[in-house]
Amino acid sequence: MIPATGREVRLVARPVGEPDPSDFELAQAPVREPDEGEILVRNEWISVDPYMRGRMNDVKSYTPPFKLGEPMEGGAVGTVIASRSKIPEGATVLHGLGWREYATLDAGSARPVDPERAPAQAYLGVLGMTGLTAYAGLTEIAPVQDGDVVFVSGAAGAVGGVAGQIARRLGASRVIGSAGGPEKAAKLTKDFGYDAAIDYREGELERQLSEAAPNGIDVYFDNVGGDHLRAAIAVLNTYGRVAMCGAVSQYNKTKPDPGPDNLFQAVGKRLTLRGFIVGDHQKLMGEYVQRASGWLREGSFHTEETVVEGIDNAVDAFLGMLKGRNVGKMLVQLK
């Protein structure tokens, strides 16, 4: 039975600095039956991700800003409850209309996934955009070579927790991660397989990184920017590579911070600093999922999730993720 209405989260004001709950509203909306070639999905898992903060600003970027007064978008996994397409009712699909309980969309913009192969929510995390981001960054943007020393910032987050393990499988001899607080730092070495962990809240990042990598680093996977990028540039070896994935330390700033004051070292060291967007690397998805599925089946790929229940708590989950309250992937489970 198709319900008459469903709840959705809308952006009603553009945040200035750190977002406030008042910038969002939870509203009821009619559920539209699918037209020819469409499906209706009951969302069961939605993803909240750092890049969504940028879409709240009305500025030109690689992806359009969210529209005020309309539901936001993002990754979601759910069950098809009505179909006028080749995708059958009962199928589990991955699509981009999250932040709502029900989504009616063109079947061509959804991808059927196999919940027997892995839990459905894994396709939003380790087997989805999250995992692909880490894989693309370490294979195409800043390729890891045998024997490399790799540094990952935001290492207890969704991408960082995967990146360190992928780096190891690509031949890294030593993997170093940074996280905020002693508990997260301890998890990096205990659970995520890092050789050394830095608690950035202790300060003196460059000193801590130098001590963890006395022979320097060869690859830096950057999720944070700011002082982490500065420390990495200082410790990178000649011909070092940087995959610039994100800069979560900057997302809520009303004015951009000055760039690293040691950037000229990139010239003498012949460094490569390259930004990337995961959407440009979709061709790697099949290859990555095949490899990562095998790692999951054999139990050698550690993943963690922070799960918040209910769409009425989706905004809290998003704000908490921006403040680093998650370990691994932050997800909202809908009932």
pLDDT tens across 280-302, in order? 999 999 999 999 999 988 888 99
pLDDT tens across 124-174, in order? 999 999 999 999 999 999 999 999 999 999 999 999 999 999 999 999 999
**Does residue 7 carry a pLDDT above 80?**
yes
CA pair distance 157, 330, nearest whole angstrom: 8
pLDDT tens across 200-259, in order? 999 999 999 999 999 999 999 999 999 999 999 999 999 999 999 988 877 676 677 777
CA pair distance 151, 269, nearest whole angstrom: 17
Closest CA to 177 of 141, 219, 140: 219
What count of Cα atoms within 13 Å lies in the side-chain half-sphere of residue 233?
21
Q: Write the single-letter amino acid at 152.
A: V
Q: Mind spelling out the 3-state secondary structure of 4-70?
A: CEEEEEEECCCCCCCCCHHHEEEEEEECCCCCCCEEEEEEEEEECCCHHHHCCCCCCCCCCCCCCCC
Enter the pTM of the model: 0.90
Give me the pLDDT at residue 256, please: 73
Rounded to 10°, the helix 129-136/158-169 angle is 50
The confidence band for 312, taking pLDDT boundaries of 50, 70 and 90, is very high
Q: What is the mean pLDDT of residues 13-29?
A: 96
Summary mean pLDDT of the chain? 95
Q: Tell me how many degrees the CA angle 19-23-27 measures, rounded to the nearest 5.
A: 135
Find where tokens 């007064």 sit. 69
Is residue 178 within 8 Å of 205, Cβ to Cβ?
yes
Give me the pLDDT at residue 255, please: 74
Give me the pLDDT at residue 254, please: 66
**Does residue 104 carry a pLDDT above 90?**
yes
CB-count burial class (<10 Å; 0-12, 13-18, 19+) for 167: buried
Give me the pLDDT at residue 19, please: 95
Is residue 188 within 8 Å of 157, Cβ to Cβ?
no
What domains sit in the chain, N to C, each tagged with a CATH number? Answer: 5-125+303-333 (3.90.180.10), 131-279 (3.40.50.720)
**E strand map for the chain:** 5-11, 24-30, 38-47, 76-83, 92-95, 102-106, 111-112, 149-152, 174-179, 196-199, 217-222, 236-244, 272-275, 305-309, 329-333
